[in-house]
Amino acid sequence: MKTTAVVEKKLGVGQHLALGFQHLFAMFGATVLVPLLTGFEPAVALFTSGTGTLLFILITKGKVPAYLGSSFAFIAPIISAASIWGPEYALGGGVAVGLVYAVVALLISRLGTDWIDKVLPPVVIGSVIMVIGLGLAGTAVEMAGLTDGGSLANVDVRVALFTLIVTVIGTMFFKGFFAVVPVLIGIIAGYVFALLNGAVDFTPVKEAAWFGLPKFMAPKFSWAAIAMMLPVSLVSITEHLGDVLVLSRITGKQFYKDPGLHRTLLGDGLATAWAGLWGGPPNTTYGENVGVLAITGIFNVSVIAVAAGLAVAMSFIQKFGALISTIPSPVMGGVSIVLFGVIAASGMRTLVEAGIDYGDKRNLIISSVILVLGIGGAQLGLGEIKLHGMALAAVVGILLNLILPKNGKDRADA
């Protein structure tokens, strides 16, 4: 079906700022949540998100209105790598992930995307996405204080449950722009509730200067840490391709042809490598901002650039960064219960929409092994290189998909 490209609208400075702030709010909650969960600096994540988006715009010739923020797919491997080798080595793994994107972008420019579908069919992708969400479930529950006999008498539990309820209500019933930022609203509501219950310490805000450089951190490299993170990049690459196709449908432009998927993926990859060099988590194209585009009908890349500039400017306001650091862990636990569950459910959705037949033993085996290895936290080492949990599950799932014979129906459909 032929699509009609949407002409970018002429906007004034005030309109650019207003629309830029809207995109900033849409990405803010998730972009800041990832460093809070992984131990990185939120201000650095804002810096690398904004500069990474500007780099993406440059590489895609200013044609794709996509905003890049912190990727949820890498939360588990970052936490694991940081706990074993230190956060610097997790950053090194992020840099390597970005370079893998660049290699895949080169292959796409030469071979197209059909080979990705063969290596990463929906049965593998959907199962791994479920592992990403379910593997983090314990972290969310622990942050919410719902372990070891959690009680409503505990203020942390009350804060977490209040945050959870507001986030659920927002996700279900908010309309318009507010429907795009229920997580941010949940965090704000939970923060106010915690403040009223005396669970917020403003000492870091009082001690922080108004302006200053974010606390950057240089990466260190270890083959073991890199091996832990690389397999997850295959999942995020597939998600990137899907996001670009959705953007194409919304805007009426064929971004997979102009500037090309190889350019969008290269931009995403270099933005991820760039983030790792400064101390930020891997980046990814944000569905939250795609939602804002769909709601407003304004697809000017210049608006995305303004949002990126605002994120960079905000990263240098140290009191703002200190204020973010005062968000209590139970607040993040409350929203994480929803977020991590949504990630797992999106994996289920991938399987359902692809029509995966679990009457086929091949599909049953692939999903079963991925789920148990990933959620069970399995580890397998070969010399210094060790694969843990989700990374091991992804690698084994890919191998099973390539090795196990397909039934007659699958061969006929191939």
Q: What pLDDT, in 10s, does the model give residues 109-124?
A: 888 877 877 888 889 8
**Measured between alpha carbons, how far is 96 from 219 in angstroms, rounded to an integer?**
11
DSSP code, position 317: B
**Measured between alpha carbons, how far is 325 from 328 in angstroms, rounded to an integer?**
8
Domains in the chain: boundaries: 13-124+151-328
Categorize the per-residue pLDDT at 75 as very low, low, confident or very high, splitting at 50, 70 and 90: confident
**Measured between alpha carbons, how far is 53 from 311 in angstroms, rounded to an integer?**
10
As a whole number, mean pLDDT of residues 257-261 equals: 89
* Residue 248 CB partners (closer than 8 Å, separation 6+): 3, 254, 255, 256
- The distance in angstroms from the start CA to the end CA of the chain is 24
pTM: 0.75
Q: What is the pLDDT of residues 183-226, one digit of tens each?
A: 778 888 999 999 999 888 888 888 888 888 999 999 999 988 89
Residues facing 70 on adjacent strands: 283
Q: Which two tokens stand for residue 263?
A: 């350019």
The residue among 252 and 217 whose pLDDT is bigger is 217
- Please give the angle made by the CA atoms of 114, 61 and 91, to the nearest 5 degrees: 70
Q: Where do the H-state alpha helices sit in 197-328?
A: 203-207, 223-251, 261-278, 287-296, 301-315, 318-325
* Residue 196 CB partners (closer than 8 Å, separation 6+): none
Categorize the per-residue pLDDT at 105 as very low, low, confident or very high, splitting at 50, 70 and 90: very high
204 upstream amide cis, omega within 30 of 0:
no
